Every structure is written in structure tokens, then in C-alpha cells.
Chain A
Amino acid sequence: AQSVTQLDSQVPVFEEAPVELRCNYSSSVSVYLFWYVQYPNQGLQLLLKYLSGSTLVESINGFEAEFNKSQTSFHLRKPSVHISDTAEYFCAVSASQGGSEKLVFGKGTKLTVNP
């Protein structure tokens, strides 16, 4: 079975500062990896995903994440955050083959961007 650990429950940063939200996973099979974003009182929206190929994936709003197989990590980064990036971010994993395709989520990281 897969599992996900998000190491930080809350991350406060100032506007225009860089940010990294950490995510580590465990799995005995190959995985797909995802980051979802949740704004207050809304459902989750896919931010970016790693399925195969290039280990660096990017979203349209400046976030990027890098799949590191040796460290079993998929950290999310943004070089300069905006107030509008304030939200909760969830890392998720599913088995790409040989395991359950259920999405397993981490506990989430609340990113607060302060002016």
C-alpha cells in the first residue's frame, strides 16, 4: 500500500518570497504523484502531476515539483508567491501498476502568504 507524508502542517511566508512544501511517499510499486490545491470551502483542484518522463513538472501558475525516486520525494516549489496562493495543498500518490489505483492523500499543508 502507498502512503504520503507532508512534513509541514502550516507554512507562513511573506509575499514574493520563495516557498517549498515537502512531500514524501512510500510505495513498493511504481507510482504516480499529484499535488492538489484547496481554497476555502471548495473542493480540490489538480495543480500538477507526475506520471512519467521528465521528473520536473510545472503548473500554469508558477508552481513546480520534482520527482526524486531515490529520496521518495515530490516537493512543491514556487520562486515567488502571491497573496492569492494562500490555500491548503495536498500531495497524493497512486500506484501506476501492480497496486491499488486509489489515490492516497497526505494530511495537507496550509500555506499562508502574508503581505
Chain B
Amino acid sequence: SQTIHQWPATLVQPVGSPLSLECTVEGTSNPNLYWYRQAAGRGLQLLFYSVGIGQISSEVPQNLSASRPQDRQFILSSKKLLLSDSGFYLCAWSGYTEAFFGQGTRLTVV
């Protein structure tokens, strides 16, 4: 069965520090991978979308970047965090008929 691992679960980082969130998928090959951010009252905002290794689509301009160095690995990064980067980050993978989500990372930038 397919599983998705996302870590860490919680993270507190100072403004201006770098960020690296990792997500790995098991039980499927060549998945479509996503990073979403969830901020209070704003629902799920799609940040990045990847259909294959090295293929990243950015949905919104922001202080973040994503990379896919391996088929089942998706990394969300920032060189310098802003206060506005705080939120709940979710990794997901999908085919046409369903999406599976990681447990999320609660990022607080202080």
C-alpha cells in the first residue's frame, strides 16, 4: 500500500534562517507530488507541483522553493524564512482518482 512520510512534525525557526522539509513516498512509482500550505482561514494553498524528477511547477510567487532529487522524494526549502512563512505544510501525492497526504509540519517562524 502507498504511504507518505513527512518530517518534522513541528518546527520553530527564527526569521532569516533556512528551511528544509522533506517528504518521501512508498508503494508507488512516478507519483505526482504536491506541497500545500494551510494558513488560518485560507484553506489549502497549492505551493508546488511535480510530475517527475526535476520537474517543478510553482503555483504562487513566494519565498520558498521545491526540489525533487529522486522519484519519491520531494523537498521544500527556503534560504531565509519570513514571519509570513508560518503555517501548516502538507505534502501529498496523487493520481487522477485520489490524493494521499502526509501528517503535516507545523512551522512557526519567530
Contacts and interface: CB of A to CB of B under 8 A. Distances in A.
Interface of A: 6, 9, 32, 34, 36, 41-46, 49, 51, 90, 92, 94, 96, 101-108
Contact of A101 (B43, B94, B106): B94
Interface in B71-110: 88, 90, 92, 94-104, 106
B46 to A, nearest CB: 7
Contact of B96 (A92, A96, A108): A96
Interface of B: 6, 32, 34, 36, 41-44, 46, 49, 88, 90, 92, 94-104, 106
A41 B90 CA distance: 11
Contact of B104 (A32, A41, A105): A41
B96 A90 contact: no
Main secondary structure of the interface of B (DSSP, over half): strand
A44 to B, nearest CB: 4
B106 A34 contact: no
Nearest to A46: B98
A9, A103, A104, A108 — most chain B CB neighbours (10 Å):
A103
A49 B98 contact: yes
Given A41-B106, A90-B43, A108-B43, A103 B90 contact: no
8 contacts: A34-B99, A44-B90, A46-B99, A101-B95, A102-B46, A102-B49, A105-B43, A108-B44
